[in-house]
Amino acid sequence: MTGAAAMPAPQLTSLIRSALAEDLGRAGDITSNAVIPAGQTMHGVIRSRERGQLAGVEAAARAFTLMDESVEVAIAHPDGAAVEAGATVLSVSGPAHAILAAERVALNLLCHLSGIATATAALVEAVADYPARIACTRKTTPGLRALEKFAVRAGGGVNHRFGLDDAMLIKENHIAVAGGVTAALARARAAAGHLVKIETEVDSLDQLDEALAGRADAVLLDNMNPGDLAAAVARVDGRAVTEASGRVNRDTVAAVAASGVDIISVGALTHSAPILDLGLDTLPADE
């Protein structure tokens, strides 16, 4: 995994603090406070219950240390690592109250993000014989976009737009209002800053020709079958980035990639990936 997979640090602390507050509520961990003496320490390890690709390890570590800075965390497998079932991901030791209070938040982040990374890695592997890269979309969980897009990178994928403001994507309704691809592209080009790329959706070869004539940086080929995709790729002939989308899954992704498209974007990576199952095995401290 390259440097591009670095965690978005500043927002992370704030997000984890909010997640801890959400779980602790007003009264905190009333079970542990009642049952476990205040000074008690403990050791624990987070292990993966299944094969997969990790994301959120650093976030999970931070959940423990933000709960109590005296908790010590050692990371065995970092973000982006592939693990087998049973592998230890990190170990944690310190005050039992803090570790147990942060456990659920740490795991909720780690399991969710690793689920995304694992789903991404499966698609990446499935298209390994083709030039296509696997990308996510803006179909993310509210509040978690930066982390979920990080998880896609940790799984070997690449990121599409982070929001409405960092690139232009002209969709069907824009085209309808503007009166065609040519007009929409012209308006977009006039308004765009010089570091803003413009992609436009096209649903026919005619629209594709307009997009190329209007110097679109990329074209979105939505819900086309592999044959149409291949024809579109041939027509583009390197003059724009080609992106395919539309209910792609592990069974169909190779056929899509075989069309020669540059990018295959898959909303399900972030909105429907099941978690990777990881758990905390705890041991009472021997001191």
Q: What is the set of active-site residues?
A: 104, 139, 171, 201, 222
DSSP letter assigned to residue 29 = -
Contacts to a copy of itself from residues 53-72, by CB under 8 A: 67-68
Judged by beta carbon, residue 47 or residue 145, the one nearer a copy of itself is: 145
Judged by beta carbon, residue 51 or residue 171, the one nearer a copy of itself is: 171
| Calculated CA dihedral for residues 261, 267, 272, 273, nearest 10 degrees | 50
Please name the residues in contact with 109: beta carbons below 8 A apart, sequence gap of 6 or more. 16, 19, 56, 59, 60, 63, 147
275 binds a copy of itself (CB under 8 A): yes
35 binds a copy of itself (CB under 8 A): yes
Judged by beta carbon, residue 26 or residue 251, the one nearer a copy of itself is: 26
201 binds a copy of itself (CB under 8 A): no
140 binds a copy of itself (CB under 8 A): yes
Shortest Cβ 191–a copy of itself spacing (Å): 4
31 binds a copy of itself (CB under 8 A): yes
Backbone angles phi, psi at 168, to 5 degrees: -105, 130
Please name the residues in contact with 22: beta carbons below 8 A apart, sequence gap of 6 or more. none
Let me know if 149 is exposed, middle or buried by CB neighbors in 10 A (0-12, 13-18, 19+).
buried
161 binds a copy of itself (CB under 8 A): yes
154 binds a copy of itself (CB under 8 A): no
202 binds a copy of itself (CB under 8 A): no
210 and 184 Cβ atoms separated by less than 8 Å: no
